A and B are shown apart, each in its own frame.
Chain A
Amino acid sequence: MSTNGTVLDSKIPAGPLADKWDQHKFNLKLVNPANKRKFNIIVVGTGLAGASAAATLGELGYNVKSFCVQDSPRRAHSIAAQGGINAAKNYQNDGDSIWRLFYDTVKGGDFRAREANVYRLAQVSVNIIDQCAAQGVPFAREYGGLLANRSFGGAQVSRTFYARGQTGQQLLLGAYSAMSRMIGAGKIEMHARTEMLDLVVVDGKARGIISRNLVTGKIERHVADAVLLCTGGYGNAYYLSTNAMASNVTAAYRAHKRGAFFANPCYVQVHPTCIPVHGDSQSKLTLMSESLRNDGRVWVPKAKGDKRHPNDIPDSERYYYLEERYPSFGNLVPRDVASRNAKLVCDDGLGVGETGYAVYLDFRDAIARDGEPVIEQKYGNLFEMYEKITGENPYKEPMRIYPAVHYSMGGLWVDYNLMSNLPGLFVLGEANFSDHGANRLGASALMQGLADGYFVIPATLGGYLATEKLDPVTTDHESFKATENETTERINKLLAVNGSRTVDSFHKELGKVMWDKVGIARNKEGLEQARKEIKAIREEFWQNVKVNGESEDFNLSLEKAGRVADFLEFTELMAHDALLREESCGCHLREEYQTEEGEAKRNDDDFCYAAVWEHNGVGKEWTMHKEDLTFENVELTQRSYK
């Protein structure tokens, strides 16, 4: 195992924290306005990060090619974010500041993020709100016409801006409209229904991609001076998650196999209040705002296998486990604690519903106390959504909830400029690792995606293009040919297996291993076992998968097969990373490392670093590089919720 030396340079600027970004922007070389049109930039993904980056780079004059797998850039999964977006505007005069947002984010990430990146994020958060409001994003407003805020995710200040329960949708449509303007102006060439299948590296620099047109199946080469991956997270490694069906790790993982390092793959956030799994045909999970825990009481029956209707179970036979175990926080413990305890009671056989993997979230007492109209005003839309999906009325009987995989904090390693260790390859939004540490706070994902795309990359990309000597390259270059050949061979190999099991059956099998052993709580034995099982599933996949149809066609089985094949390699790295991180931090709970009260126990002496992995070939061990995290501005403390 080699460690950090000359390989990883995070390029964090010198100077006081509050001045780093301004000073860095000044120090970065600029591309002359007339020269910007000479540069071609590829942006993969059209979520908040990708759409905002493509729009802004187009406005600056670069030639942008944008890619998404959906039929329109407006549909990327950022659209599903409900709650809001944080910004240190302090419009409420309640003591917020850039420094406080910075501090909350570093602490919330359990001291596993980079101070300088997080501070910059908090700084530009205020510009994001200005930009979005100017675009016409219909944020919630007060009667005086000014912007409304709410407190979110346990924050002590009201810094969250929102647009009903559709904040992600409205922010994405804002970025999409900015992008559409540039498409209309001819500065962005849009490639919808197109999937990046590999990264093309020429002389050690990212210079293009190989893509597949998902309608015709045609394999295409695209050359550029820089490639931006804005391809989201890898939550679908678990099969069931709140991610969209097409969310996948392929673009990031292909880049990893071409030399880009992957950081902290074990950090995955599990959201506590989702609608539980109904059976084997379940395809995805739906999240409900965790604000429900403000009034709902979480419980399970005290007796195993108690099949009575919940309303028939008297209080004396109910186990309000969060209230009993965490008397001061009760039902409002943080996401990771709530999720872990739900799993524990279900593993003990106390779970409810058909599958036994659910707990009750009961509004009976709140309705008795405040009356139904008050509860309806607060949660009416959520109750309606719950009833639509489950057919049950939460005013009359408790909801059933269960945790679900929601967000991945890990991602491709990037320096302060958002550039990976591969020159010319930039990674933005959820796809990178840099800002959330081991746990992301509510309403911070939207902030980071837009910060990266609107405000960070326009400055740092220019710095790269202005200083790097980029030789002219065309798609006839040997590297393009070779990479395309490998892509085609891989597709042919998938089609040639002609076994007897469907792609989904492998994905479900993988998801179960991941959820059981690399999920909410992990331990050494389970993680070692997971690596073996993943390897075995992968081997069977390549001998027994059945992919119908042809390559040169609209082929859904083939699309899925390629993505699942990558998950079957990548998940092994997730398990390996979790195994080597012998501490508990943020969303990564190792059962061996807990306090006497059963709380997560961080080990700052030995693990205050980002684990950054270099790929050495499938089935071979990875090389770990460490980026030591130094905290010069905040004091490392232990979280406690008792």
Chain B
Amino acid sequence: MGAKTINLTLKIWRQKKSDAAGNFETYDVPNVPTDVSFLEMLDMLNERLEAEGQEPVAFDHDCREGICGMCGAMVNGQAHGPESGSTLCQTHMRTFKDGDTLVIEPWSANAFPVLKDLVVDRSAFDHIVATGGYVSVRTGSAPDANEIPIPKVDADTAMDAAACIGCGACVAACPNASAMLFVSAKVSHLAHLPQGKVEAKERVRAMVDTMDSLGFGNCSNARECEAACPKEISVEHIAKLNREFASALF
């Protein structure tokens, strides 16, 4: 591992508040070690801005190991940047070249209003889950775990869907700002398990209704969501959602 560094020009969306106008600001960030992560590169910029008495660039982040789903921004038009199957926090600067200009913007969707700079409000996802993304099982009322055998292949498919981290990249990448991949991941996860079958119809109807009411767009099979998803959730789950939804109508 060499102590290689690169020089970057960043064009970052700055917006003081939800209802304020925003604009791009340009920052030169020299001597970025290629071993640092994308967010650590933003830390370097913020450290400098703070020392100069300027406001740091607001961005969401927490675990910095690709699992909490808190981080995310568009980098040169790509959700979570150019690396596939990776969150922004797991993208390292060796992905970029000396002299690159990076345009960094928040997720753009009506259902995700900007709160400040790169930070958006994704509470719409929580609202969708609260209307049906669960199995109604009170604490204490569960049978012995091995009383519900589940074929391994079903459990594995459910796990593939359950790997969703709720970051919102699917919405940001979709030309229609649709939340279908997110909703389908939860519906498909529970629809593959016997525990989730009892309420399957109510669940899919309620979650889709809530999704529609919160201003997300429709799915037109562009598959940008799958390409942007840091957990590589397959659009096959959208097909499953569509089947579940259709069967719930009858």
**Using a CB–CB distance below 8 Å, which chain A residues touch chain B?**
52, 55-56, 59, 70-75, 77, 79-80, 89, 91, 127, 129-136, 138-147, 163-164, 166, 168-170, 173, 176-178, 180-181, 183-184, 190, 192, 215, 244-246, 278-279, 281-284, 286, 353-354, 388-392, 454-455, 458, 500-505, 546, 548-549, 554, 556-557
Q: Is B134 part of the binding interface, using a Cβ–Cβ cutoff of 8 Å? A: yes
Q: Is A133 a contact of B142 with CB atoms below 8 Å? A: yes
Which of B36, B126, B139 has a CB less than 8 Å from the CB of A178? Answer: B139
**B56, B123, B129, B145 — most chain A CB neighbours (10 Å):** B145
Interface CB pairs A-B, < 8 A, 23: A59-B138, A134-B142, A135-B142, A136-B158, A170-B159, A170-B162, A178-B137, A180-B130, A180-B134, A181-B130, A181-B136, A192-B126, A215-B115, A244-B68, A279-B36, A388-B92, A389-B92, A390-B1, A391-B94, A455-B140, A503-B50, A504-B47, A554-B119
Query: Is B67's CB under 8 angstroms from A166's CB?
Result: yes
B58 touches A138 (CB 8 A): no
Residues of B within 8 A of A75 (CB): 62-63, 68-70, 166
A170 to B47, CA, bound (A): 35
Asked if B236 CB lies within 8 Å of chain A CBs, one says no
B51–A546 CB distance below 8 A: yes
User: Across the interface, do A138 and B1 meet the contact criterion of CB distance under 8 Å?
Assistant: no
- Beta-carbon nearest neighbor of B94 in chain A: A391
Known pairs A135-B142, A166-B67, A284-B65; list 20 more (Cβ under 8 Å): A70-B70, A131-B137, A133-B195, A136-B134, A136-B193, A138-B189, A141-B150, A143-B152, A164-B159, A169-B67, A177-B129, A183-B126, A184-B132, A278-B33, A279-B36, A458-B139, A504-B47, A548-B53, A548-B56, A554-B115
Chain A residues with CB below 8 A from B86, complex form: 388
A284 and B133 contact, CB distance less than 8 A: no
A557 and B155 alpha carbons, distance in the complex (Å): 44
> Do A138 and B53 touch across chains, with their CB atoms under 8 A apart?
no
Q: Is the CB–CB distance between A135 and B35 below 8 Å?
A: no
Decide yes or no whether B224 CB sits under 8 A from chain A: no
Q: Is B228 an interface residue (CB 8 A)?
A: no
* CB atoms of B146 and A147 under 8 A apart: yes
Compute how far the CA of A4 lies from the CA of B81 in the bound complex, rounded to whole angstroms.
57
Closest residue of chain B to A76 (Cβ to Cβ) is B68
Across the two chains, which residue of chain A brings its CB closest to B16? A553
The answer to whether B134 touches A178, judged by C-beta atoms less than 8 angstroms apart, is: yes
Contacts of A169 in B (CB 8 A): 67, 163, 165
A281 touches B69 (CB 8 A): no
Contact with A along B17-52 (1 / 0, CB 8 A): 100000000000000011111011101101100110
Distance A168 CA – B37 CA, assembled complex (angstroms):
23
Kindly state the separation between the CA atoms of A130 and B51 in the bound complex, as whole angstroms.
52
Does the CB pair A134–B70 fall under 8 Å?
no
Give which listed residue, B33, B50, B55, B137, contacts A135 with CB less than 8 A: B137
Residue of B nearest to A52 (CB): B139
B139 touches A554 (CB 8 A): no
Collect the chain A residues with CB atoms within 8 Å of residue B65's CB. 80, 284, 286
Q: Does B58 lie within 8 Å of A554, measured CB to CB? A: yes
How many angstroms between the C-alpha atoms of A215 and B94 in the bound complex?
A: 33
Residue from A131, A132, A500, A556 within 8 A of B56 (CB atoms) = A556
A130 touching B142, Cβ below 8 Å: yes
How far apart are the CA atoms of A168 and B62 in the complex, in Å? 15
The answer to whether A546 and B193 have CB atoms under 8 Å apart is no
Within the assembled complex, what's the spacing in Å between the Cα atoms of A166 and B156? 13
Which of the listed residues A134, A142, A244, A454 has the most CB atoms from chain B within 10 Å of its own CB?
A134
Contact in complex: A134, B44 (CB < 8 Å): no
Contacting pair A455 B152 (CB below 8 A): no
Contact B155 A392 (CB under 8 A): no
Q: Collect the chain B residues with CB atoms within 8 Å of residue A283's CB.
A: 37, 39-40, 43, 64
Q: What are the residues of chain A within 8 A of B159 when measuring CB–CB?
A: 138, 163-164, 170
Given the complex of chains A and B, what is the CA–CA distance between A75 and B54 in angstroms? 29
Q: Does B237 belong to the interface (CB within 8 Å)? A: no
Do residues A134 and B47 form an inter-chain contact, with CB atoms below 8 A?
no
A141-B150, A177-B133, A554-B116 known; A71 vs B63 contact (CB < 8 Å)? no
Q: How many Å lie between the Cα of A88 and that of B62 in the bound state?
A: 33
A190-B63 Cα distance, complex, nearest whole Å: 21
| CB of B126, distance to nearest CB on chain A (Å) | 5
Give the docked Cα–Cα distance between A180 and B152 (Å). Answer: 28
Contact B152 A145 (CB under 8 A): yes
B35 close to A146 (CB less than 8 A)? no
Question: Is the beta-carbon distance between A146 and B63 smaller than 8 angstroms?
Answer: no
CB distance from B145 to the nearest CB of A (A): 4
Taking a contact as CB atoms under 8 Å apart, the answer to whether B126 and A73 are in contact is yes
Given contacts A134-B195, A169-B67, are A74 and B35 in contact (CB under 8 A)? no
- Rounded to whole Å, the gap between the CB of A613 and the closest CB of chain B is 29
Bound form: Cα–Cα A360–B4 in Å = 22
**Of A354, A546, A557, the contact of B1 (CB 8 Å cutoff):** A354
Query: Does the CB pair A282–B139 fall under 8 Å?
Result: no
Please indicate the chain A residues that have their CB under 8 angstroms from the CB of B130 in the complex.
180-181, 183-184
Report the minimum CB–CB distance from B103 to chain A (whole Å): 22
Q: Check if A146 sits within 8 Å of B146, measured CB to CB.
A: yes
Q: Are B155 and A138 in contact (CB-based, < 8 A)?
A: yes
Question: In the complex, A388 Cα to B81 Cα: how many Å?
Answer: 14
**CA gap between A91 and B67 in the complex, in Å:** 30
Tell me which residues across on chain A come within 8 A of B140, comparing CB atoms: 127, 131, 455
Interface membership of B249, Cβ < 8 A: no
Query: Closest B-chain residue to A390, C-beta based?
Result: B1
B47: chain A residues at CB < 8 Å are 502, 504-505
Q: With an 8 A cutoff between CB atoms, is B90 at the interface?
A: yes
Complexed CA–CA distance, A554 and B17 (Å): 8
B13 at the interface (CB under 8 A from A): no
Residues in A whose Cβ lies below 8 Å from that of B92:
388-389, 391
B190 at the interface (CB under 8 A from A): yes
A145 in contact with B149 given A71-B60, A136-B158 (CB within 8 Å):
yes
A134 touches B134 (CB 8 A): no
The 8 closest A-B pairs by CB, nearest first: A145-B149, A134-B142, A177-B134, A133-B145, A184-B130, A138-B159, A130-B142, A278-B35
Mark each residue of chain B from 160 to 190: 1 if its CB lies under 8 Å from any CB of chain A, else 0. 0011011000000000000000000000011
A83 to B177, CA, bound (A): 35
Kindly name the residue among A59, A133, A178, A505 whose own CB sees the greatest number of chain B CB atoms within 10 A: A133
Task: Give the contacting residue for A245; candidates B62, B136, B152, B195; CB below 8 A.
Answer: B62
The reply to whether A388 and B90 form a contact with Cβ atoms under 8 Å apart is: yes
Question: How does the 8 Å CB contact mask read for B60-80 relative to A, with 1 for contact and 0 for none?
Answer: 111111011110000000000
Q: Is the CB of A134 within 8 A of B3?
A: no
Bound-complex Cα distance A504 to B46 (A)? 10
Given the contacts A136-B190, A141-B150, A177-B133, A80 and B33 also touching, CB distance less than 8 Å: no
Contact across chains for A55 and B67 when beta carbons are under 8 A apart: no
Say yes or no: A134-B131 contact (C-beta < 8 A), given A71-B122, A145-B149, A389-B90: no
- B residues less than 8 Å from A142 (CB atoms): 152
Q: How far is the CA of A281 from the CA of B47 in the complex (A)?
A: 10
Distance A91 CA – B147 CA, assembled complex (angstroms): 12
The answer to whether A70 and B134 touch across the interface, beta carbons within 8 angstroms, is no
* Distance from A362 Cβ to chain B, minimum over Cβ atoms (Å): 16
